Amino acid sequence: MRLIICNSYSNAENEKKQICDLVDMGLGLGLAEKDLTFTSELTSQWCQSNNHDIQLGVPRKVILDLMRVSDVFILPSVSEACSVIMLEAGISKNLMVLNEDLYSLHEFGGQGVTQNSSDRAVYFSFGSITRPIVQYTPSEEAWFTDHAKVLINFLAQDKALQFFRQTRKRYTPDFVYASQLEPLLRRPN
């Protein structure tokens, strides 16, 4: 599992402090530091060669590549009319987790059929500008734990995502070499 947050315009001190606070929160919730990635914190040869400041945003092609290899897209935005990135995640066959409190998102994700989902999306309450979350009941940690369990259950039920995950994990050149070719090379004659 890896949480990748594509953040832009993250070069000011406030944004850098917010990243540190979010990393601390993630570590407190049991994530390893390597499991939480903010794109503004990355460096690359391409950025250096093209004089691109990654803190200002990720190139569009990178976003599309990330969508192609991811399987869950979470849109916790508290003010959104029509998110283009949400549509790109949907076209990339990501499981959509949308903010239940933004009624405009129900047009895209569909009306709820169960407590946490529609026919097309999973809904969690992230609050909104007009309906902010003031307190988590019984606690913020319990809220995250309960919602993680719901999300894991939805992921386990989706056969297309299961096949995608299996393919992504087991049929890479490194995995095929380590699990199939390397053992053949080590066998005594």
Locate the domains of the chain by residue range: 1-58
Tracing tokens 């944004």 back to the chain, one arrives at: 15
Kindly give, in sequence order, each residue whose CB lies less than 8 Å from that of residue 2, ignoring residues fewer than 6 positions away. Answer: 34, 35, 36, 37
Residue 131 tokens, joined:
């309906």
**What are the pLDDT tens digits along the chain (189 aa)?**
889 998 888 889 999 999 999 999 889 888 899 999 999 998 889 889 999 999 999 888 888 899 988 999 999 999 988 888 899 999 999 999 999 999 999 999 998 888 889 989 999 999 999 989 999 889 988 998 899 999 999 999 988 889 988 998 888 899 999 999 999 998 776
Kindly give, in sequence order, each residue whose CB lies less than 8 Å from that of residue 143, ignoring residues fewer than 6 positions away. Answer: 136, 137
Residue 83 tokens, joined:
């998110």
